[in-house]
Amino acid sequence: MTMHLVRGMSSLNNKRRRMKRHPGWEKDQAYHDKWLMERGVHPSQLKNKEKSSGCNVPNYSNDRPTIPTSDRITAVQGKKKVNVYSGTYVVGVATLHKSNLVPVGKGDNPEEYAKMRRN
């Protein structure tokens, strides 16, 4: 599929166009400006307003009481000990239906697990 330029959205047309104004547009513009002024959102009113995002930044000054902290750096800990099974009950691991691994105990018959897999 090829990419087509959408009419009026081509990068070749950079000129700014003037709005086509109908007769009596001044009256409509004045009414709109009055409506904006009543609500306090006219551009002339917004210039003087203090801008705020609505989020308050917490005060991180040093005057607050805090828990004393330490600047000491402790020694690097060694590698964590790996858990290894050291018992004698589990003899091995058998596979049942679709990679379901099951531990095989000392008294179990591994042939039962092999037959179960085929049934």
Q: 38-57 pLDDT, tens per residue?
A: 998 898 888 887 777 778 87
Alpha-carbon dihedral sign for residues 50, 51, 55, 61: negative
* Per-residue pLDDT, 8: 62
Q: 4-29 pLDDT, tens per residue?
A: 666 666 665 566 677 788 899 999 99
| Separation between Cα atoms, residue 75 and residue 53, nearest integer Å | 45
Amino acid identity of 115? K
| Separation between Cα atoms, residue 45 and residue 49, nearest integer Å | 7
Alpha-carbon dihedral sign for residues 34, 38, 43, 47: positive
Question: Among 82, 100, 101, which Cα is nearest to 92's?
Answer: 101
| Separation between Cα atoms, residue 93 and residue 101, nearest integer Å | 6
Question: Among 84, 102, 81, which Cα is nearest to 93's?
Answer: 102
Q: 74-112 pLDDT, tens per residue?
A: 888 888 888 888 888 888 888 877 778 888 888 888 788
pTM summary value: 0.31
| Separation between Cα atoms, residue 107 and residue 91, nearest integer Å | 9
80 token code pair? 């964590």
